[in-house]
Amino acid sequence: MTETSGLISLVSALAGARVLCVGDIMLDKFVSGEVERISPEAPVPVLRIARENAMLGGAGNVARNVVALGASVSLIATVGDDAAGEEIERLLLGLGHANPGLVIDENRPTAIKTRFLAGTQQMMRADWETTDALAEETGEAIIEAAQAALADHQVMVLSDYGKGVLGDGRAGRLIELAKAAGIPVVVDPKGRDYGVYRGADLVTPNRKELRDAAGAAATGVDEVISAAAAVRATSGLGAVLVTLSQDGMALVTEADSHHLAAEAQEVFDVSGAGDTVVASIASALAAGASLLDAARLANVAAGIVVGKVGTAAAYMAEVIATLHHQDISRAEAKLLSRAEACDRAEVWRCQGLKVGFTNGCFDLLHPGHVSLLAQARGASDRLIVGLNSDASVERLKGEDRPIQNEAARATVLASLQSVDMCVIFDEDTPLELIGALKPDVLVKGADYAMDQVVGAEEVKSWGGRVVLAELEEGFSTSATIARMAGDAS
């Protein structure tokens, strides 16, 4: 079995993995827009806001990445009794295979990090948080919740962002509990003293964090490996995995060391990449992988996530597609899930590209469809096609439709040069999908009046526009099917 095929088998096995994550959680907000002038009130740019997004940050992003890879996660953290805490719980529940174990502290606000972006440039970050020590009862509630959950999980992650959850010796107490239960511990560390994680099976610092912990320059890969070996030995750790950005990763154990070359083809945003690494390794270990194979999988996932915007996730399908890189067809690469499509659309927008959207059943593709798609692509820089699922088509068109199943229809659409992405949706209308993707251009055929176009008002509300494409006369799927039925009778 080749290394690649072995990793593909490993990804497929992640569905049975159960990860327990304990750490600091925050709400990451991204406020995006354009700067066209300087304020008359002060010499500062004026950001004209176009959209706002909220994502899970810190330990929440670890949980998001675990679920994206197909595993399940339980997350134990503390939030305030406020709107941001409620939003975090909603986002966690929305992941599907995540169990939120949030300890509410009424005297402590939920941490919020707000990033303001003009195009691709981050202008400023504003943090609303406290790093004071946790109240004793809050800390004990976290320990008790983790202890109760250990028996149902295969790996524990400690996600330390220095916000208090793992302070006051709680990291050490949690490691002792996990070791007593025979469960490996992976730590995303903070600070200079890694002795607080003594007994952990793996810590995952980046190059700067390793330098701080080792008190050494650690510039080249050989120096990194030497520094990691010293930190491992003096801090009583099982292994150290150092993320090195463009230089890949270095894995150092008691027995040996490995340098893994970087997998990223294009680095767009490194925010949250460390969370992806921790989630990937923990999920792989929970599925029974060796530490080296877990690190290799994490390297692939990190290469995917740095090509996205913000605290993003690497999805199972993306990882498998990357591992199949030499074999995957161009058409298959365009067929994305809703979550994957949202990530890709955000990258396109931040690259200054106009994202277009159109939708339909596209059952028996004909020249009228081809013309519509070509016009839609001409009105935008990248075109996303929303495709009604089989169940949706049947509800809209009748029990004898569709003629071709959704997989066949999606494959044909994705093979067209005018289509950059295809997303299947199960609702009767594409309104939810449009709301998630937030396209800049919405295209429908001119047989619709402007007030009949689903999503038109929503697209206009965020500054987008609606285009009615000219129709090719004489082409209709329903008419074609009727003629076929007539010929057969």
408: which DSSP letter? Answer: H
- In one-letter notation, the amino acid at residue 182 is G
- Residue 275 appears among annotated catalytic residues: yes
Q: Are strands 111-118 and 121-128 parallel, antiparallel or unpaired?
A: antiparallel
Among residues 71, 66, 59, 49, the alpha carbon closest in space to that of 28 is found at 59
Query: What Rg do the C-alpha atoms of the chain give, in angstroms?
Result: 25
Rounded Cα distance, 155 and 169, in Å:
20
Among residues 110, 145, 150, the alpha carbon closest in space to that of 28 is found at 110
Rounded Cα distance, 57 and 61, in Å:
5
62, 100, 199 from 156: Cα distances, Å: 12, 15, 13
Rounded Cα distance, 336 and 90, in Å:
24
Report the 3 state secondary structure along 214-238.
Answer: HCCCCCCHHHHHHHHHHHHHHHCCC
Rounded Cα distance, 225 and 217, in Å:
12
Rounded Cα distance, 331 and 159, in Å:
38
List strand residue ranges (DSSP E) for 389-456, in order: 421-425, 441-445
- Region for 463 from its dihedrals, namely left if φ exceeds 0, alpha if ψ lies in -120 to 50, beta otherwise: left
Residue with tokens 């090195």: 244
DSSP string for 127-141: EE---SPPPHHHHHH
C-alpha dihedral sign at 30, 33, 36, 41: negative
Which is catalytic among the residues 160, 275, 293, 343?
275
List strand residue ranges (DSSP E) for 256-312, in order: 257-260
Rounded Cα distance, 439 and 462, in Å:
9
Cross-strand bridge partners of residue 53: 30
Count of Cβ atoms closer than 10 Å to residue 374 Cβ: 16
- Close Cβ partners of 43 (under 8 Å, ≥ 6 residues apart): none
Q: Annotated active-site positions, please?
A: 275
